[in-house]
Structure 1
């Protein structure tokens, strides 16, 4: 049996066919490029989208009398999705390794934060560590999967990227502060300042169709954090976990949580950078200043 073509190869065929589509001058070109952008984003969100669909579907339809706890069912489904991503070569093994690290990093933080009362998992489960059901780690893995896939699918390039060791130090400081602020002063504002200092001039270049376009990397991170916050609202509505102010009924997650997701997403971005190249933008794009 011949091995299945890699995600890169299969997707490259679809993308190449779409990119070679003849488009008449005028408004059709920008519209088609926008649709391609959405198509690629949706493809990159495959893991996270499936997890969210499972959370909502089981919230509404999972039988209360089922012999398997809902959280355990979610864990098994998430594991099956991850295996499928590997089997169908939707992720490379190097990406899976980094995503696995982020899975562990997230689970360790979950153990600490649930013990500290920052949030809670209200339903029973057998597959858990302490008060944390194992499916929670896959939600962090979904963020890592998205960043790894969008990096590859959009052919990310970067201009004015700081020395890589500085990003590693920043990510470590962010992670430590998630724990340390329970006893020491919260240095979150300082971390935002350092992030702006390091990446304020950095632009991320991405290719939705024919040409690379760019935006400030800080803005790109904010947009990702915003959509993670939207997803978090869906997840808490589906009773995946509860914050203290949701114990008596669901209410929208505070927009202030976007700050935490912004910082946590930087950790994921830095981890993915271990296996994804930090490349310069194509000379033609950099010279003509293509922007979003």
Structure 2
């Protein structure tokens, strides 16, 4: 995704970042944390809404409907305030549809359930559920823009698109054919082993293998999933009697979901960059 000249420039800036003093590194960490926090506004809004709506019962509106209205309002405010761009809203809508399709199938198969009533439920799935997937896209888009992310070693689009499609389909097909998640995980490491992501904090650039980014995003989504189920966003079959920790095995699922997120966002960014250069 970069020219050879830009690769060298990014590499030189990344090497220079190692010469910072302890105080300078602490300032960098504060700025990094600030951009992470600002990129998490929509996910935080979701968890905040789940928490507050769990303990406050409004007699004139169902909880699932209230959550949907609040999240639509948050998205509108973020767009009108400039926190999200129109292109980012489009990406979020794509993820909402992708996530909602998966939710409809998983609820139908009994993987989890939304037991509360609501007018905005469609085949047992509240429409707000797509926003939980869209929040991942919101974070990816914002952090990409805020930290001026770029990549080297990005594979050819054909195998990348094929792997992303296979990962998404495996979420559906593992109910009636063998689960290929570990084979797909191995393919991820093979395909992306040369891919490095660069991000800039203030005037200094850092690097990280993309597979490490996948693992970190997957782990933190798993943490968020535990928070969401605790506040009743949905329930797994073993959580109907009482809440319990979501199994660590789910991290692999979120790891694969993170890959789909990065693939879609990266490809859209790449396409947009190509159109900008062409114009």
Cα separation, 2, equivalents of 1:48 and 1:269? 17
Cα separation, 1, equivalents of 2:106 and 2:21? 53
Cα separation, 2, equivalents of 1:39 and 1:212? 16
* Cα displacement (A) at 1:26: 3.6
Residue among 215, 223, 236 paired with 2:229: 236
Structure 2 partner of 1:18? none
Cα separation, 2, equivalents of 1:111 and 1:165? 28
Cα separation, 2, equivalents of 1:128 and 1:259? 28
Structure 2 partner of 1:250? 243
Residue among 27, 31, 41 paired with 1:32: 27
Cα separation, 2, equivalents of 1:32 and 1:278? 34
* Cα displacement (A) at 1:164: 2.2
Aligned residue pair count: 253
Cα separation, 1, equivalents of 2:21 and 2:27? 11
Q: Could you say what secondary structure the match of 2:269 adopts?
A: coil
What TM-score do you get using the length of structure 1 for normalisation? 0.83
Cα separation, 1, equivalents of 2:265 and 2:92? 8
Structure 1 partner of 2:52? 57
Structure 1 partner of 2:160? 167
Structure 1 partner of 2:40? 45
Cα separation, 1, equivalents of 2:257 and 2:122? 21
| Superposition CA RMSD, Å | 1.5
Cα separation, 2, equivalents of 1:53 and 1:102? 21
Q: Could you say what secondary structure the match of 2:247 adopts?
A: coil
Cα separation, 2, equivalents of 1:30 and 1:278? 34
Structure 2 partner of 1:290? none
Whether 1:181 aligns to 2:206 is no
Residue among 56, 61, 78 paired with 1:68: 61
Maintained 8 Å contact 1:148/1:276: no
Residue among 179, 198, 202 paired with 1:205: 198
Structure 2 partner of 1:127? 120
Cα separation, 2, equivalents of 1:87 and 1:267? 28
What TM-score do you get using the length of structure 2 for normalisation? 0.87
Q: Could you give the per-residue CA deviations for residues 31-51 of structure 1, whole angstroms, max 9, x where no partner exists?
A: 000111100000111111111
Q: Could you say what secondary structure the match of 1:120 adopts?
A: coil
Any residues of structure 2 matched to 1:94-113 within 5 Å, and which? 94-113=87-106
Cα separation, 1, equivalents of 2:173 and 2:186? 18
* Cα displacement (A) at 1:277: 3.2
Cα separation, 1, equivalents of 2:129 and 2:161? 25
Q: Could you give the per-residue CA deviations for residues 34-77 of structure 1, whole angstroms, max 9, x where no partner exists?
A: 111100000111111111111111112x12x5210111100000
* Cα displacement (A) at 1:278: 8.5
Contiguous gaps of at least 5 residues in structure 1: 1-24, 280-292
Q: Higher helix proportion, which one?
A: 2
* Cα displacement (A) at 1:165: 2.4
Cα separation, 2, equivalents of 1:103 and 1:169? 21
Maintained 8 Å contact 1:157/1:278: no
* Cα displacement (A) at 1:122: 1.8
Residue among 267, 270, 275 paired with 1:274: 267
Cα separation, 2, equivalents of 1:150 and 1:230? 19
Cα separation, 2, equivalents of 1:222 and 1:94? 26
